[in-house]
Structure 1
Amino acid sequence: MAGEGAKPIASLLLFLNLCMYAIVAAISGWALNVAIDRGFTIGPSLALPAHFSPVFFPIGNAATGFLVIFALIAGVVGSAAAIAGIQHIRAWNRLSLASAASSGIVAWALTLLAMGLACKEIVLDGRNARLTGSR
């Protein structure tokens, strides 16, 4: 079959891609866990803060919550796309190419969205005191 020489290179790139997405999903899952543990608790005697957001993160700034959520989604979808790519390499026919390519494009689009939110977080000036070093 044509293109048999590309299988080892594609396998290596897919393995690196899977590792990268697993690391992104693990870090964003950790950040989401921290936000849930340290988040604002509404009790009977507590009132909502003036600038309450349902995507509130005690670390970072106003864009951190959106960044973490979309990075977690991109990490999970990217891992699934890498697994679909590995299945395509195992089959190596044109019938399995469409599913691997379409899931890869969706993962790439979600990764670009998370990257845009990361850029927005960098642009925003308001930082948490823990990130700036001043207390």
Structure 2
Amino acid sequence: MATGGGPKPAAYVLLFVNLVLFFIVTVIAAWAMNHGMERSRETASVLSIPLRIFPIYFPMGNMATGFFVIFSLIAGVVGIATSLTGLHNVFQWDVPSLHTAAASSLVSWCLTLLAMGLACKEIELGWTSGNLRTLEIMTIIVSATQLFSTCAIQAAVEEAIAEEIDRTRGRY
């Protein structure tokens, strides 16, 4: 069993923080997706032909908004699933479960980095509403906390492997 000061408590705290942050990202991205779908028909009707038929047009923000909202929503949902399963896997504290948590955490971090890159592009293009700025900031913050969470889970994997080696050496 792990001691109180190792990577296990850090992984728990970071996974819980990520769960809350990914939930916030998912809620804001879902709102933006709903708002975009409700208003895009009336707003896109006055645009020229190439923009009118563009499948990812959002009436708020700029031309990067559609991609950003979609990838933020995907990253948020995957992040919630990763955080929940990661909490379960860290609770089990055996090597296969921790490897599963580390792999899913890495996938979630990669998706979050993709959404963060689109957030940076949207910031560069400018002209976004307050809700989209909140989503941009939350995406950037959650990409950093997901990196820390991935590192903490990897440290937990290494500690669990060391504990298992110590146990097997103690038996012989």
User: Which TM-score tier does this pair reach, normalised by the shorter chain?
Assistant: 0.7 to 0.9
Cα-to-partner distance string for 1:40-90 (whole Å, 9 max, x where unaligned): 16xxxx797332210010000000000000000000011111112101122
State the percentage of identical aligned residues.
49
Match of 2:64 in 1: 63
Match of 2:114 in 1: 113
1:94 and 1:34 map into 2 onto residues whose CA distance is 44
User: Please, which runs of 5 or more residues in structure 1 have no aligned partner?
Assistant: none
1:12 Cα deviation from its structure 2 partner: 1.4
1:54 and 2:55 matched: yes
How do 1:1-135 and structure 2 match up within 5 A? Answer: 1=1, 3-5=2-4, 6=6, 7-40=8-41, 49-50=48-49, 51-52=51-52, 53-124=54-125, 127=127
User: What SS does structure 1 have at the residue aligned with 2:41?
Assistant: coil
RMSD (Å) for aligned C-alpha atoms: 2.1
Distance in 1, matches of 2:17 and 2:82, equals 13
Task: Please identify runs of 4+ aligned residues in structure 1 that moved more than 6 A.
Answer: none
Partner of 2:38, secondary structure, is: helix
> Structure 1 8/62 Cα, relative in aligned 2: closer, same or farther at 3 Å?
same
Mapped partners of 1:117, 1:108: distance in 2: 14
CA contact (8 A) 2:15 2:87 kept: yes
Structure 1 residues 47 and 23, CA gap change in structure 2 (3 angstroms): closer
**Structure 1, residues 25-46: CA drift from partner, whole Å, max 9, x if none?**
00000000000111116xxxx7
Distance, in Å, in 1 between the alignment partners of 2:111 and 2:84 is 17
Match of 2:142 in 1: none
Normalized per residue, the structure richer in helix is: 2
Task: Give the direction of change, closer, same or farther, for the CA distance of 1:39–1:47 in structure 2 (3 Å limit).
Answer: closer
Residue identity matched to 1:95:
P
Tell me the TM-score normalised to structure 1 length.
0.82
Structure 2 alignment gaps of length 5 or more: 131-172
Is the 8 Å Cα contact of residues 75 and 112 (structure 2) preserved in structure 1?
yes
Number of aligned positions between the proteins: 124
1:27 counterpart letter in structure 2: I
TM score, norm. by length of structure 2: 0.66
C-alpha separation in 2, matches of 1:89 and 1:114 = 26
C-alpha deviation, 1:98, in angstroms = 1.7
Larger deviation: 66-75 or 51-60? 51-60
